[in-house]
Amino acid sequence: MSVATTAAELSAIAEGVDRYRDRVGTLAVPHLGTEREDLIAALYEAERALRNAHRLLVRATKIAR
C-alpha cells in the first residue's frame, strides 16, 4: 500500500469518525433535563473519545502525507 493510499484511507476514516461523534453528541440532547444522567454521561464520554480518535487520525493523515 502506498503512502498516498494510506493518507487517503486515514482521511476518509477521520471524516467518518467525526460524523459519528456528531451523531453520538446529538443523541444526548433529548435526554438533557431528565433523570437519565447516566446515559447522558456515557454519551458525552463516547463523544469525547471519538473526538480524540478524530484528532489522532488527522495527525496520522498529516504524517502519512
Separation CA 10–CA 61 (nearest Å): 6
- Total Cβ atoms within 10 A of residue 56: 13
pLDDT per residue as tens digits for the range 1-21: 899 999 999 999 999 999 999
Residue 27's pLDDT is what? 97
Q: What pTM does this model have?
A: 0.91
pLDDT per residue as tens digits for the range 24-60: 999 999 999 999 999 999 999 999 999 999 999 999 9
- On the 0-12 / 13-18 / 19+ scale of CB atoms within 10 A, 57 is buried
Radius of gyration (Cα) for the chain, nearest Å? 15
Residue 1's pLDDT is what? 81
- Residue 7's contacts (CB-CB under 8 Å, 6 or more residues apart) are 61, 64, 65
